[in-house]
Structure 1
C-alpha cells in the first residue's frame, strides 16, 4: 500500500537525482548508460514513479560519480527534529562505511 510519506520520499529522491544529473550537464540517456539502466526507468525514478532498489541507487550514484549517501543528504532532505539528529548521524555513518567498503561480513 502506498502512503503519502513513501510517495513524498520517492519524489524527493527523484528530484535530488534530477538536480544532480542536471548540475553535471548529463542527459537522462547518458545517466542511464552510465548506470546500466533504461532511460525510461531513470525517467520514472526522477518523477517519483518508480521504487528503485539500493543496488539501482548505487548504480545511479556511480553513474553520477558520487557516494550513494549524497542522494539522501543534501539541501532537499526533510527537516529532522533535534532529538533525532544523533540517530540519523549514526545511520549515516553506518551507510557511509558500508558503501565505502569499510564494513565486512562477520
Structure 2
C-alpha cells in the first residue's frame, strides 16, 4: 500500500495534469469545484489531505470519475485538440500502410 504522503502527491499530480488538460488555472478549478484556489494548490503539491467530499467536487468539476484521481500508472491526458491530431495522424498512417500493402500484394 502506498504511504499516505505518496498517495497525496499522486492525487495532486493527477489533479494538476487534468486541470492543465482543460487549460484551467487553479483559480478556475477552484471556482468550478466550489473550493479555494489556495486549497487546490495545496492539494496539487500534496501538502494537505483533502476529504473525499473535496475530491468528489474536484472530480465533478473536471467531469471525471473520482477513481481517476487515484490512478498510479503514468496518467496521460489529452486535450480534444491533441486527440484530433492523433486521430488525423493515425488516419494518414493507415492510408500509407494501405498503399504499401497494395504495392506488395
Query: For the aligned residues, what is the CA RMSD?
Result: 1.6
Partner residue, 1:45: 43
Larger Cα-atom Rg: 2
Which 5+ residue runs of structure 1 have no aligned equivalent? 78-106
Instruction: Confirm or deny: 8 A CA contact 2:10 2:72 kept in the other structure.
Output: no
Instruction: Confirm or deny: 8 A CA contact 1:12 1:76 kept in the other structure.
Output: no
Partner residue, 1:16: 14
Name the structure where helix makes up a greater proportion of residues: 2
TM-score computed with the length of structure 2 as normaliser: 0.66
Which 5+ residue runs of structure 2 have no aligned equivalent? 76-105
> Which of 58, 66, 69 does residue 68 from structure 1 map onto?
66
Count the aligned residue pairs.
74
